Amino acid sequence: MNEIKSGCRCSYSLIVLLIFGLIFLPLALAQGGEIKGKILPSDSNATIYVISPTQEIAGIDTISINGEYSFRLPIGIYNLFIRARGEYDNKTIFQIGVRENETIKLQDITLSRFNETGSISGYVNPPIADLKVEVKKFGGGEGGFSITSDKGYYEVKDLEPDTYGIFVRFNSTQNFYDYKWSMIDIYANSSLTGINLTFTPKNSKYLIDRIIVEFQPAISESEKREIISSFDSRIMSHYSYSRHYVVNVPYGQTSQNRVDLFKTNPNVKDAYLDGIAHTISGNEPVEEIQNNEDSAPIEELQEKTKQIKEIVEKIESTNNNGENIKLPNKNSVSEKDLDNSKKISTFYAILILVILTIIFTISYLMLKWKKRV
């Protein structure tokens, strides 16, 4: 009798373990996060394409009447291509990291109308004359340049609203590292002033015009930007798939002062100097001498943008020609993964049921055999 009870207890234990495995297996398989935000103006009827790291369309959605959108995606880094309608221009957003079980709220994206332009201006420090300050769009390389005045002033006009990079390259006789500011947002019918560029001498151990700020988890993109602007700073670049932001040091301030200031905010996990990784020989660009891997160089982003546009145009052209192709929806990648998870879960469920049936059958036969004995 004790043997029967022991066998039953063992069977029951196995049953409980198998049931728990069946319940939690789908949860373990369904990993991913969410990105959401808003496109303005909402009457642009924009369609958003999510582009995966393999340059495939991972999801498509049209904004709501309020301009809102959301995507649930597997863990990874994605680009967004925003196809506007009517009088509005397209826009590309690069390197959005999706983390497990996190919701990333992006800053509102404002689309511009055709033929609307803006400008950017400021001073270089030290005030060197006849320097070429280049401003290039991440989406395709268009932009402009300015030659600095005797006081180091520059101004670049007629820029289409978009995100730009600023570049200053020095010759071998000038004792400064080449300059790069990766993220400058130009808005329609506006003049962005006071964008002063401070150059780092080649004998410096760190880049004196910027610091690195690491934020606490679960801080939204808009909150990060609010914190940065509250300290009179701007984002210079963003390390992809991380919480690290390169932030500029305003004119008249020191890098260490900025580090100490940002550390006072409870939403900032850490802040530190952007050290130069190694001794530089020759005239290498700044992006090659930073300790951390910076956002992709502008040439790489331009190539990605070209590929993204080709993917989207091919799909839209195929649809216009009357060919019937299946497009992913806003959660297509996750649904595909979920479908695979369902198939795997179904397989394990059937397997578990078979095992349970065998266990019950064996237990029943053992009971009958014991009774006969």
| Domain limit, last residue, from 199, 224, 259 | 199
Dist. CA 178–CA 195, nearest whole Å: 17
In a domain, 212, yes or no: no
Q: What is the pLDDT along the chain (373 residues), one digit of tens a residue?
A: 555 455 555 555 555 555 555 554 444 444 678 889 899 888 888 899 998 877 788 888 888 888 999 999 888 888 888 888 878 888 877 778 787 788 888 878 888 887 888 999 999 999 999 999 999 886 566 789 999 999 999 999 999 888 888 999 998 888 999 998 878 888 878 899 999 999 999 989 899 999 999 999 878 777 888 999 999 999 888 755 567 889 999 888 899 999 999 999 999 999 999 987 533 333 333 333 233 333 444 455 556 666 666 666 666 665 555 444 444 445 544 444 445 545 555 666 677 777 877 877 887 777 777 666 6
Is residue 120 domain-shared with residue 168, that is, in the same domain? yes
311 and 358 co-located in one domain? no
Is residue 250, in this structure, part of any structural domain at all?
Answer: no
Residue 140's Cβ-count burial label (10 Å; 0-12, 13-18, 19+) is middle
- Confirm whether 233 is domain-assigned: no
Domain of residue 314, CATH code: 2.60.40.1120
Determine the pLDDT at residue 338.
Answer: 45
Model's pTM, two decimal places?
0.61
Among 181, 199, 217, give the residue marking a domain's end: 199
Which residue range(s) make up the domain with 124?
116-199
Task: Please tell me whether residue 117 adopts helix, strand or coil conformation.
Answer: coil
Say how many domains are in the chain: 3
Tell me which residue has tokens 């000038």.
Answer: 174
Token pair of 34 as six digits: 């969410």
| CATH number for position 158 | 2.60.40.10
Question: Do both 132 and 105 map to the same domain?
Answer: no
Question: Can you tell me the distance from the alpha carbon of 285 to that of 292, in angstroms, rounded to the nearest whole number?
Answer: 14
**Is residue 266 included in any domain, yes or no?**
no
Q: What is the pLDDT of residues 300-325, one digit of tens each?
A: 555 666 666 666 666 666 555 544 44
pLDDT of residue 325: 41
CA dist 102 → 36, 105, 106, 218, 220 (Å):
11, 10, 13, 7, 10
Share of the chain above pLDDT 70, in %: 69
At 86, which helix (H) or strand (E)?
none
Q: How many C-beta neighbours within 10 Å does residue 5 have?
A: 9
Contacts for 254-257: CB closer than 8 Å, 24+ residues apart: 254/208, 255/206, 255/207, 255/208, 255/209, 255/210, 255/211
- In this structure, are 25 and 78 located in the same domain? no
The reply to whether 195 and 126 lie within a common domain is: yes
Please tell me whether residues 10 and 80 are part of one structural domain: no
Residue 365 has which token pair? 């036969």
- Same domain assignment for residues 37 and 107: yes
- Same domain for 341 and 322: no
Name the domain boundary from 147, 181, 199. 199
The model's pLDDT over 49-92, given as tens digits with 9 standing for 90+, comes to 998 877 788 888 888 888 999 999 888 888 888 888 878 888 87
pLDDT digits (tens, 9 = 90+) for 194-231: 999 999 999 898 999 999 999 998 787 778 889 999 99
User: Is position 140 within any domain?
Assistant: yes
Residue 225, domain member (yes or no):
no
Answer yes or no: is 320 within a domain: yes
Q: How far apart are CA 88 and CA 63, in angstroms?
A: 14
Domain assignment of residue 204, yes or no: no
Q: Mark whether 89 and 23 lie in a shared domain.
A: no
